[in-house]
Structure 1
Amino acid sequence: MAIKNEISILTRAEQADLYSPPIFSIEEQRLYFSLNDGELAVFRSIRLRAHRCYFVAILGYFKSKPVILDIAYSQVSKDLMFISKELLGGKGLRPFTPSQKQKDRLYAKVLDLAGYHKWDESQHFNSLFDHLVQVGNAWLEPRYLFDTAIEFLASHSIAIPRYTVLQRLISRTMQQVRKDLAHQLNQLTSPELHVFLDSITAIDDGLSLNQLRGGAKSLTVPELKKELALYHQLAPWRTQINGVIDGLNLSLKNRQHFGELINYYGSKLKRFKRAQQHLWLLCHLTERIQLALERLTDGFIYHIRKQQEAANTFAQQAVFLSWQSAADNVTKAAELLHLFVDENIDDNQPFSVVRQQALKVMNDRDIQTLCLYLKKQKRTVEEYQWQHYDEQCNLLKQLLRQVFLCLDCEAGKGSEAVVAQLQQIQTEIASGGPLKTMDTSLIPKKHLPWLVKQDNVNPQRYEWLLYRQLTSRLNGRIYLPNVTKYRALEDDLIPQTSQDTLLASSTLDRLKQPAELLLQEQQHRLESALKDVALHIDEGDNRNVIMKNRTGTRWRLPTKSATSLVNNPFFKRMQPVDIADVLRYVERETGFMKCLTHVLPIQKQGFTHQDDLLAILIANATHRGVYGMAQISDRSYEHLSTVQANYIRPETLHDASDVINNAVAALPIFRHYHIQEDQLHASADGQKFETHLETFKTRYSSKYFGTNKGITAMTLVANHSALNARIIGSNEHESHYIYDLLQSNSSDIKPDVLSTDTHGVNHVNFALLDLCGYSFAPRYAQFSSVINDLFDVTENEHGGTNLALKKPIRTNVIETGWQDIRRIVLSLQTKAKFAQRAKNVKLALSSKIHHLNFRSQSALASNILVQHIEQPMHRYLFLRLMD
């Protein structure tokens, strides 16, 4: 058992399981207590009957797990009786207890037979300690180090020592790793950076921990100003912070863990040693700076697009109002015309005097609008759009311009001039002066009348135009190297030098094939499928299809409405069960709550708060929240929120979900839900949820939320089991996340076929999923239009059906870009193997591929799409929706 003040690694149940005799079934007893010739010889060399039985028992236990057990007769009496009857015959044994010397002699024989060594601290400690220190630099977590130690002992044929020995060893390992990191940190960190880090934990004015942990909560202007202020405080130290973290060579896991400790401890951070504070802060700051840049970039894009929409709305309304105003002012036109025939006006008077009298009747703008009205013309929408931008000068100066100065732009192909101009105005804005260098060649012709007057460029409008061009080109024509989401695709791809090595070790057979061979195979399958479908139509093999007109090409499938019972009598026999009781039963069967670990690995496991965790899970699953649960239970809100912060995290929920899904997959009934016997069919869909609070992912969607905002929950489901999920903004395209849902699925349930609705469809997914070994089978809302776009359905001279593609597959494009396709897919596969912290890189890479829509990948996708339509499993759908 764990000694007091030692690090907590295993729960009491886990300790008992490891250091107690295993409980064998009859079959296991026969397996583990059977002896080979060598073991039988040693068995016969033992004189006493009781010691022989004890020897066989501990030998069987050691085969089960290489631990030297201290067992009493009462613990293993059933096994000893079994051994006595099976190996020695006759009656059973009387209770006995071997002395410690006898146990040592018997275990020496067991170790010799098994080829193992007993743990000797003088011989084995240093080698295991050095190994754990090396592993600790990758992931400094007690349970991970414990498992690593067990693997090291097994590989070196060393029996597992006492739990206290491993506790002490792992404690020393963690101390040594922290000591080494502190030493490196002092060498790498400048005195100025030390002072800055100290100021964060101080109470004085400046950047506080609360500011660091807080920041913007949404895309509103006040929240983005908070994030901007925070970034301005961190930006001067970004180079030094990144240099220190790179010099420490910390793994992604350790960086993530150390960074999360800032959020957990908060103001209590000052209780720890200075070096430990600085290490955690540096890890947190690297992620925080990246997060700030991403938030500011998203906010910049959001407000530019929002102003574009607002400008369009304002312009449409203004055009209508100006036209209406002109109609109302028609009567005043008579007064203006009367000025030309008014005898009281001297002919020698200047025209400016007459103009002043006319302006007393109507202002000059209303006169211009009235003239357009009389000529049945309207003011242009663009004119009012730029008027709207003129009114947004405060937003431009106070937020957008400041955010723009934080962005480092790099040019893609065709955007060199735009980026050069953006960098130039960054310099001019940073110097505090007006814009002087404005390249009019970047102004589209339709905007020239509103930006250039008498060869003078309106600087504010020109600035708006450049921001709009920057936003529209962030899909792959302009890059932001410091923001993961908007970096160049090349930055996320594997080096070309390692492509051949990764390809050789890849399990994707299609990717290893030459492009010519793969295309020949696909072309043959396509031609066969086209002939087979046409033949089945002509021969009437498909009984679900009824030909209404043999001379035409339109078919109809008569449908019969299905009747269903609202309340099936079967369900009346089922007794209602509380959801909490269901969760407790699932916990007993699967132990999923063991995955809900404390944010600090040295703390006790989540089973000590089982009821609290059940309440939190139910509260969040029913959208009540812990505050709502606290109102109807005997738990306070403060207590539930603390437990939730300590135990409920995306990674712990993901692990718990995998445990449940794996248990479901092991049930015999699971395979009976298969749509196809030889393949597992999954589906992915997004569910819309309206939110009360604004976050960076909440967006407007009038179709689902009316005038409110919400988010989309993308879920991967197979046989009624939710395998994976991801929250995205309601403005994001669901198809960009299909690949990630499949690849980041860590459960034992591995789908073969994936279906989505129309929102999950794009050309890239067809090619990408096919190359990765999946079948993409989306359900189109307008399937007939897809058929009409792809195929020509005609009749030959003999009255038979001919199916042919309208456009040929561009095989030459696929062959030319085959190496690029390979590199992209291998990069995605490599990113998928990274730790959870690298997930943003993989998502950004996947999204960039969808945005760029490579010609070669699109051509390959067209080929896969056609074959998907022609697959036998889709023939029924193909024929049914032909009309």
Structure 2
Amino acid sequence: MVYLQLFKGLADGSVFVKDSNGYRALEDELIDIEYWTNHKHRLLAELNMPLLSMSITTLLSRLEASLEQKYIDVNQRIETGENAALKLRYNKRKELVKWTLPYVRLDDGINNPFYEKLPVSGIGDVLRFVDEQTDFLAAFTHLQPKYAKSIPEAEVLNACILANATGLETKKMKDISDIKEKDLDNVNKNFQRSQTLSAASDVIMNHTAKLPIFNQYNLSDYGVHASVDGQKFTTRYNTIKSRYSKKYFGTMRGLVMYTLSANHMPLCLKVIGANEHESHFLLDIVESNTSDVEVTAVSGDMHSINRVNFALMNLFGYKFMPRFTQIAETANNRLVGFNNVSSYEKYILKPSKQVDKALIIKEWDNILRILVSLALKQTTQSQVVRKLSSFKTNATLKALIALDQIMMSDYLLDYIDSQEMRSVVQASLCRGESYHQLSGTIAKVSGGKSLRGKNEIELDIAAESIRLIANAVIFYNATLLAYLYQFYLKAEPDKANKISRLSPVAWQHISFIGKYEFYNRRVSINIQEVIDYFMSDSEINFLAAA
């Protein structure tokens, strides 16, 4: 019974182990209280986060004005029929029984028929072309630079990246390519690290962002709209992160590749256990983006929502815009308002709970301490968010949750009111799913959908290698589309607009299998020749692009 109670206490946060990594008290994860008291104003000034520097009364006044006006406007548009998507159902006494808000899944646009006319290129040729355009292989530095006597050949680096991404052993890569095994082993040990792979991906993405077509991928006028989602992979070996999940892996073990995607590109990823909740890593992964692409808004499915993510994301300067399922039930049970609940009775959309402003104001200093500790990354952000979103609440956590409910209510009303917003959210999630299909295709090259790696380091390398290959494919496709976009922009703007709506996530014209010839320098992709070949036969099928 004692062990059972300890197990329950560790799970719900009522029992702590000070010397552990995951089960310390929240207090132990935060800035020392004495240091916070003495240096609070300096820390807030250094962070340059406007909402944290604002007084809590001013912040609450802004939130109240926005939320209360939305209750009026949103309900008015429902009553007048302007919100045509929302369907009301009444009984015989003309009393509202329920309302529904259906949404239509958008086509993810991958492997558009547009790409069928392109000549098939080997993945080795694509990697060589991308390196010629971006010099991404320069990001691969030696593990011990002062002992490095020579720079590895680009062909060997490309072979190692492909071997790690597809789960091929170096011995097998030697048999199906023109690379020597000793060269593969040397480069794999000294140059292939998750840090260098991530840096190489950043180089490719930064060049993709400079293409003239990139801004056309923006889903809205407020900036880059990203999405987060986890992709499940089985693992060939048992590791600490590999866990059982009957739903996803059957009798095998696996893990999750949690990816932040924006404008078709995978900006960054984290390998997490299948037992961990994806919402705990939302702020962490958005803050981990090291590319030049600045994210303004982030969408996710229901797995991205917890008790505090709306507050954390908004206070850190991001728009958190998840897709809700069972939207009517969520709105009926989770909307809050600043006034007494009885004052909203005439509305169709109305709060079920009143905001405790006094508690938020009272606990604001403690909330600030949590937020600044997160911003300074005193510890892993996911650890703090896990404690905030799952452990038993005290007054400070109740206040933070109350603030989260205000911001979630504000977003929910917008989400119900705006068809355009729902379309943008759905489109961003479809783009993330498109990347998952591409990454799954890369991982399955060697048979099966398993990540090769005997420990966490090797699993991270495999995941980052998949992301790097995917970024190379996306850059190649985006370059082709950018040439066509500029060609038609002045002469035929309508065609240019249709080209800008084509997804660069496509691989039907790229061969991932076969015998790899990395040293075949005579075969190098000439982008102009590809364009000329493409346009020589017949008219482009722009109907498919629309």
TM-score (norm 1): 0.43
Where does residue 466 of structure 1 map in the other structure?
2
* 1:660 Cα deviation after fit: 1.4
Q: Which has the higher contact order (CA 8 A, sep 6+)?
A: 2
Which residue, out of 779, 803, 828, partners 2:323?
779
Is 1:870 aligned to 2:413, yes or no? Answer: yes
The separation in 2 between residues aligned to 1:618 and 1:841, in whole angstroms, is 31
Could you report, residue by residue, the CA deviation over 1:22-48 in whole angstroms, capped at 9, with x for unpaired residues? xxxxxxxxxxxxxxxxxxxxxxxxxxx
Distance 2:108 2:399 in 1: 48
**CA apart distance, 1:649:** 0.9
Equivalent position of 1:27 in the other structure: none
Please name the residue that 1:477 is paired with.
14
Q: 1:873 to 1:678 in 2, by over 3 A?
A: farther
Aligned-partner residue type, residue 376 of structure 2: T
Out of 11, 35, 39, the position equivalent to 1:498 is 39
Distance 1:549 1:473, change over 3 A: closer
- Is 2:139 aligned against 1:595? yes
For the 8 Å contact 2:305–2:322, the answer to whether it is kept is yes
* Residues 5-24 of structure 1: CA deviation (Å, up to 9, x unaligned): xxxxxxxxxxxxxxxxxxxx
- Asked if 1:662 corresponds to 2:198, the answer is no
Q: Is the 8 A contact 1:538 1:801 kept in 2?
A: no
Per-residue CA distance 1:420-453 (angstroms, 9 max, x = gap): xxxxxxxxxxxxxxxxxxxxxxxxxxxxxxxxxx
One-letter amino acid of the counterpart of residue 811, structure 1: K
Structure-1 residue corresponding to 2:501? none
1:803 aligns with 2:336: no
The answer on whether the counterparts of 1:791 and 1:804 sit within 8 Å (CA) in structure 2 is yes
Alpha-carbon distance in 1 for matches of 2:398, 2:372: 18
Report the aligned-residue RMSD: 3.1
CA deviations on 1:148-205 (whole Å, 9 max, x unpaired) are xxxxxxxxxxxxxxxxxxxxxxxxxxxxxxxxxxxxxxxxxxxxxxxxxxxxxxxxxx
Say whether residues 1:530 and 2:71 are aligned partners.
yes
Correspondence 1:323-362 to 2 at 5 A: none
What amino acid is aligned across from residue 847 of structure 1 in structure 2? Answer: R
| Pairs within 5 Å for 1:508-519 | 508-519=49-60
Mapped pair 1:846 → 2:385: yes
Contact 1:616–1:625 under 8 Å retained in 2 = no
- Deviation track 1:674-708 (CA, whole Å, cap 9, x = no partner) reads 11022211111111001121000000000001111
**Which residue identity is paired with 1:519?**
L
Higher helix share: 1
Q: Report the alpha carbon displacement of residue 515 of structure 1 after superposing the two structures with TM.
A: 1.5
Q: State the distance in 2 between where 1:561 and 1:721 align.
A: 21
Aligned residue for 1:760? 304
What is the aligned partner in structure 1 of residue 124 from structure 2? 580
Deviation at 1:582, TM superposition (A): 1.3
Residues 429-444 of structure 1: matches in 2 within 5 Å? none
Find out whether 1:631 has 2:175 as its counterpart: yes
Aligned ranges 1:348-747 → 2 under 5 Å: 465-475=1-11, 476-494=13-31, 495-496=35-36, 497-545=38-86, 551-553=94-96, 554-555=98-99, 569-604=113-148, 607-747=151-291
Pair 1:690–1:511, CA change in 2 (3 A) = same
Equivalenced residue count is: 405
* Residues 594, 569 of structure 1: alpha-carbon distance in 2 compared, 3 angstrom cutoff: closer
Distance in 2 (CA, whole Å) between partners of 1:501 and 1:562 is: 47
1:817 corresponds to 2:335:
no
Q: Is the 8 A contact 1:606 1:647 kept in 2?
A: no
Any unmatched runs of 5+ in structure 2?
337-341, 424-546
For residue 485 of structure 1, give the secondary structure of its aligned residue in structure 2. Answer: coil
Determine the C-alpha separation between the residues in 1 that align with 2:383 and 2:104.
Answer: 47
- Classify the secondary structure of the residue corresponding to 1:732: coil
Q: Distance in 1 between matches of 2:334 and 2:422?
A: 14
Q: Give secondary structure in 2 for the equivalent of 1:717.
A: strand
Query: Which residue does 1:237 correspond to in 2?
Result: none
Question: 1:612 touches 1:640 (CA, 8 Å); kept in 2?
Answer: yes
Q: Which digits, 9 at most, give the CA deviation of each residue in 1:342-381, with x for residues without a partner?
A: xxxxxxxxxxxxxxxxxxxxxxxxxxxxxxxxxxxxxxxx
**Contact 1:484/1:841 (<8 A) preserved:** no
- Deviation of 1:755 after TM superposition, in Å, equals 0.9
**TM-score, structure 2 as length reference:** 0.68
Contact 1:686 1:714 in 2 (8 A): yes
* Partner Cα separation in structure 1 for residue 253 and residue 24 of structure 2: 28
CA contact (8 A) 1:626 1:637 kept: yes
**Equivalent of residue 376 in structure 2, options 830, 840, 844:** 830
Q: Is the 8 A contact 1:485 1:841 kept in 2?
A: no
| Alignment correspondent of 2:457 | none
Structure 1 regions of 5+ residues with no counterpart? 1-464, 833-839
Structure 1 counterpart of 2:140, one-letter code: L
Residue 567 of structure 1 and its aligned partner are, at CA, apart by 7.7
Paired residues of 2:44 and 2:372 also in contact (CA < 8 A): yes
Q: Cα offset for 1:844?
A: 2.9
Aligned CA distance change for structure 1 residues 483 and 808 (closer, same or farther; 3 Å): same
> Which entry has the higher C-alpha Rg, 1 or 2?
1
Identity of aligned residues (%): 35
Equivalent position SS for 1:521:
helix
State the distance in 1 between where 2:144 and 2:181 align: 22
How has the CA–CA distance of structure 1 residues 865 and 568 changed in structure 2, closer, same or farther, with 3 Å as cutoff?
A: closer
* Offset at residue 579 of structure 1 (A): 1.3
Counterpart for residue 533 of structure 2: none
Q: CA separation in 2, counterparts of 1:673 and 1:867?
A: 27
How far residue 872 of structure 1 moved from its aligned partner, in angstroms, is 6.0
Contact (CA 8 Å) 2:222, 2:296: kept in 1 or not?
no
Q: Report which of the two has the higher share of strand.
A: 2
Q: Distance in 1 between matches of 2:49 and 2:416?
A: 24
Number of the residue aligned with 2:437 = none
Cα distance in 2 for partners of 1:681, 1:705 equals: 31
